[in-house]
Amino acid sequence: MTLTFKANLPPGQDPLAIDRTRKLRIAKIRREIGLIGNLTEQEKAALMEEAACCPVHNTLRQGMKIEDAEVA
């Protein structure tokens, strides 16, 4: 599986040179899943359906609240 993301940067701007105080947002995440082996279309569909049920996928798709807590 390969995950890539696209941040909302102006064209040509180096993502490592951004102002860290600015609220940068990830605009898109692309997931590429490679299925290996001699699989039927039904098996491929079942595996893709299973991939869509993963907790990380569900969290990113539905959003979540992030809490910051300072620790001693």
Q: Cβ neighbours of residue 27 under 8 Å, at least 6 residues apart?
A: 5, 6, 7, 8
Would you list the domain boundaries of the chain? 2-62
**Tens digit of each residue's pLDDT, the chain (72 residues):** 555 555 666 677 776 666 655 666 667 777 888 999 999 999 999 999 988 888 888 888 887 788 888 888
Q: Could you tell me the two tokens for 16?
A: 């490592």
The confidence score (pLDDT) of residue 3 equals: 54
Q: Give the start-end residues of each E strand in 1-72.
A: 2-7, 26-32
**What's the pTM value of the predicted model, to 2 decimals?**
0.50
> Using a CB cutoff of 8 Å and minimum separation of 24, what contacts does 11-20 make?
none
The confidence score (pLDDT) of residue 45 equals: 95
